[in-house]
Amino acid sequence: MRASSVIPHLLLLVLVATLAAAKTVVDLTDTKRFEASVGRDRPALVEFFAPWCGHCKKLEPKFAAAAAAFAHQPGKVLIAKVDADKNKDLGRKYDIKGYPTLLFFPANSDNFEVYKGPRETDAMVQFINEKTGATGKLTGDGSGSPPQAKEAAKPVTVDAVQLTSGNFDRIVMQEDKDVLVEFYAPWCGHCKNLAPVYNAVAKVYENDDTVVIAQMDADEGANRPIAQRYDVKSFPTIKFFPKGSNKQAQDYDGGRTETNFIQWINSKCGLYRVAGGALSDLAGRLPSLDSLASRFYSTEAETDRSKIVEDARAFLAQAKVGTNSSAEKNAAADYYIRIMDKLVEDKKYVEKETARLKKIMGKHLDGTSLLEGKKVDSIKKRMNVLSAFVKRQLSDRVPGGAAEVPRDEL
């Protein structure tokens, strides 16, 4: 047998062995793993989910408990999940239109059916038993798994970028990236306490291409010279490397809560994230154009509006050649002008467009749409700018006055 044909067989054997030993939900987001597992030698119940979906989060412990109910029959039934927001091809293949969607696949078959029963552990276990002849067993509390087992089985996802001596300079020294680095040691109690917070912060900024939240095991032998380079003497030590051609490490001097980190990073990077990863009402807005937007919306005099649009276009032209120019600011300024042009054609445009965008966001939030994180950000920014036409200026709205208003210096 040729080596090229042996390798796939070996990979399949490893996969089968891994799945057979698993007592919890198996992640089959990877297409190759999915195709090697589903519709094969055993039936499968697969949850198609999205990480941001509230209903999916509520189902997670119940679905894990259902998987644990079959732990005494390894290899009998496969209980799996697919992140359909990450692997959209699989989502489209099985016509997933809302989250979570549960599909049952018989053994050795390409057919499947949608599970329409209650999203409760006992109901899912009963459904699997009836379909497969398995004998899933629930514990006394009906959860399918004792609390300790569920806690131990919960997967740990690391969202922070992992740095090593081999990739540190390539990632951290990128001129167009702001990079926050935690130097930690696996045995450090303070590092362990910080881990869930730091991981949550990394998740908050996952859609921001100009920000990297990273960490390095500074106690690992090959990484120690880098830790010494930046005078790391205790754990955790956190350093900030601002974007630019001559990067110099700065000490992180903020607090250790998720909110503390977010406020500090926002102030350093000019961003407007909030806990959980959403954008605040300030994102995408420019104070100088907020003033013009409010004036434009409040007057219907053609001469006044023409002058306001002229001022807005002059601002945009100057912004494009200013020292603080950026593609994002230019796009934001252009959107203000586009709204003004639309209002000339339809004085109800702001209300109509706001209602349209809210409807799209509503479908996203209730799990019936498939919006990527960056698309959600784009809609939120547009809604924020639309609101500038009908609300007071930011400097009148933000606690603390103009000092907390987004900066749009040229």
The C-alpha atoms of residue 237 and residue 224 are separated, in whole angstroms, by 13
Of residues 26, 53, 103, 319, which has the active-site annotation? 53
CA-closest candidate to residue 157, choices 255, 35, 266, 60: 60
277-310 burial string, b = 16+ CB within 10 Å, else e?
Answer: bebbbbbbbbbbbbbbbbbbbeeeeeeebeebbe
- Is residue 53 among the annotated active site residues? yes
Question: Is residue 203 helix, strand or coil?
Answer: helix
Q: Which of 12, 188, 344, 357 is catalytic?
A: 188
The helix or strand, by DSSP H or E, that contains position 162, with its residue range, turns out to be strand 161-163
Residue labelled with tokens 């994002």: 328
What 3-state DSSP class applies to 374?
helix
> CA–CA separation, 101 vs 80, rounded Å?
12
188 has catalytic annotation: yes
Q: Are 335 and 385 in contact (CB under 8 A)?
A: yes
CA gyration radius for the chain?
Answer: 26
Nearest to 290, CA basis, from 383, 394, 384 = 394
Q: In the numeric block, which tokens belong to residue 138?
A: 């629930």
269 is a catalytic site residue: no
Catalogue the active-site residues: 53, 56, 188, 191
